[in-house]
Amino acid sequence: MHPLLNIAIKASRAAGCVIIKYMDRVDGLTITSKGRNDYVSEVDRQAETEIIRIIRKAYPQHGILAEESGPGKEDGTLDPDYTWIIDPLDGTTNFLHGFPQFAVSIALVHKGVLEQAVVYDPLANELFTASRGSGAFFNDKRMRVSKAKQLEGALLGTGFPFKEHRYVDNYLQMFKSLMLQTAGIRRAGSAALDLAYVACGRLDGFWEIGLKPWDLSAGALLIKEAGGVITDFNGGADYIRKGNVVCGNHRIQQAIQQAIHPFLTPGLD
Ligand code: IPD
Ligand code: CA
Ligand code: CA
């Protein structure tokens, strides 16, 4: 296993321990709001601190972009080629409600290319990993995206645009169109885990508006290494910056992209 991936796994498991430790004590947690429908608790912060501690110990020169603490200090001592992208707890709202769907997401970008990825579900003890060029793994077993050929019969995942309401109407039109063409749509509440589920074939495809780099970087590499395709709404590669993603095996990615196309408006691509 690549040493960088090894550190990412170690960090994700340590964060998982923090998350599990607090699971039965959610009522006593200090919760603050970062914005509309956007909450953060001391669990998110502690899990993030733990991840950063482990990464810094192994790779003190690497840059870090973590959800709760933002970009690391660019004081000239850091190696600009390496950046770790961290979501210490993806699915905070679920966690705070005791809804058992949340994960740790850690990716490493080298010179702008996604190289390593871990998504870890600490409750189910499910570990999804990938190193670029070496395939994707689910608890040490090779994983592949589903073989679904068409939307008919497919199970899709999605996320609701609940923080930024600008595109709610576009989204609802997309949702209606896809709901009428598929076997079902799930909104489980952790984008990182949704993407991992596409990578291992539990979901045939997924789309969401307005994700952040820490929600989707690790999941994106999982999907690519599992033989899938992930793009922005126009089929382009700029999905991390735009935050709008469509993914699945190549047929399903194409089919979702076509289905949502009529509902795109300027700025939503
Ligand atoms: C959220 C989850 C959710 C997605 C949101 C994300 P958080 O992450 O991934 O599924 O719909 O857009 O912000 O805030 O729980 O880390
Ligand atoms: Ca997140
Ligand atoms: Ca988070």
Q: Which of 39, 190, 217 to mutate to test the pocket of ligand 1 (most atoms within 8 A of CB)?
A: 190
Residue 233, token pair as written in the block: 């709404």
Please tell me the distance between residue 153's alpha carbon and the centre of ligand 2 in angstroms.
29
Regions of the chain short of the pLDDT cut 50: none
Atom index in ligand 1 nearest the CA of residue 93 equals: 15
Per-residue pLDDT tens for 193-222?
999 999 999 999 999 999 999 999 999 999
Residue 68, token pair as written in the block: 């709760």
Please tell me the distance between residue 211's alpha carbon and the centre of ligand 2 in angstroms.
8
Can you give the pTM of this predicted structure? 0.96
Residue 217 backbone class (left: φ over 0; alpha: ψ -120 to 50; beta: rest)? alpha
Domains of the chain: 3-142 (3.30.540.10), 155-263 (3.40.190.80)
What's 36's DSSP letter?
T
Per-residue pLDDT tens for 169-185?
999 999 999 999 999 99
Residue 200 is predicted with a pLDDT of: 98
User: How many Å apart are CA 53 and CA 48, to the nearest integer?
Assistant: 8
User: How many Å apart are CA 85 and CA 216, to the nearest integer?
Assistant: 9
Per-residue pLDDT tens for 45-68?
999 999 999 999 999 999 999 999
Pocket of ligand 1 (CB under 6 A): 87, 90-93, 159, 189-191, 211, 215
Helix (H, G, I), strand (E, B) or coil at 89: strand
Closest-lying ligand to the alpha carbon of 158? 1
Atom index in ligand 1 nearest the CA of residue 187 equals: 10
